[in-house]
């Protein structure tokens, strides 16, 4: 086998680096996006500091489904104005570049992650006599809810319009989700167009490595097509 000369390797190195960056950007743009979890609103499913992989491809071919954990762009100022970074400008620029090419996980400053509870046509209500949420009149058990939390501390009944979803955090007592934004332009609903993709895997730290399951009882409820 012929060994390439040192000069040849040095000339090819920029091409290799640029090609790797292009592939990384394409993967992040169309297939998989990595995010950093900044808050405890999805505990214990997700912990603060977890890095997750989000499948973006599925959002191109189908709508979000009940029970899925999804990442979405802030739909109506839920997060307010992001705090200014204390890092020097050069460090901010480097970090931003590394996030853009997919080397660092996105800090999710203007993104949120929640679980889809209702899809277009659904009526979601809290709560039945046993304290469970109901979807289209069917009580659903939610084993992923943070230990000690109720399905909701506040009562509500909403009908989700087509093209939107109703979302809630698994840590119901610490999640400012759809319930807390019913006075915004979308009445607490999240437009499907704002959804980046489904969170599928916790990739870091290794001791948290796992696939994220969907709410099995939520997925079994029939869609109400009359709405």
Q: Which residues are catalytic?
A: 41, 114
Rounded-to-integer distance, Cα 109 and Cα 52, Å: 15
Cβ contacts of 43 within 8 Å, gap of 6 or more? 146, 170, 171, 174
Rounded-to-integer distance, Cα 9 and Cα 29, Å: 30
């Amino acid at each position: 086998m012929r060994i390439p000369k040192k000069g040849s390797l040095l000339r090819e190195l920029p091409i290799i680096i640029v090609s790797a960056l292009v592939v990384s950007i394409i993967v992040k743009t169309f297939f998989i996006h990595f995010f950093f979890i900044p808050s405890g609103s999805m505990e214990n499913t997700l912990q603060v500091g977890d890095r997750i992989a989000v499948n973006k491809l599925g959002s191109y071919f189908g709508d979000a489904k009940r029970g899925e954990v999804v990442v979405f762009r802030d739909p109506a100022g839920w997060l307010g104005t992001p705090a200014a970074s204390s890092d020097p400008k050069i460090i901010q620029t480097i970090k931003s570049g590394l996030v853009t090419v997919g080397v660092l996980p996105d800090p999710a400053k203007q993104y949120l992650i929640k679980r889809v509870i209702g899809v277009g046509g659904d009526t979601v209500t809290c709560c039945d006599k046993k304290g469970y949420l109901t979807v289209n009149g069917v009580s659903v058990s939610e084993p992923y809810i943070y230990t000690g939390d109720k399905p909701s501390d506040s009562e509500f009944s909403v009908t989700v319009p087509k093209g939107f979803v109703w979302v809630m955090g698994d840590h119901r007592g610490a999640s400012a989700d759809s319930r807390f934004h019913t006075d915004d332009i979308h009445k607490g609903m999240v437009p499907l167009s704002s959804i980046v993709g489904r969170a599928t895997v916790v990739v870091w730290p290794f001791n948290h490595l796992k696939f994220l399951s969907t709410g099995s009882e939520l997925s079994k409820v029939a869609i109400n097509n009359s709405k």
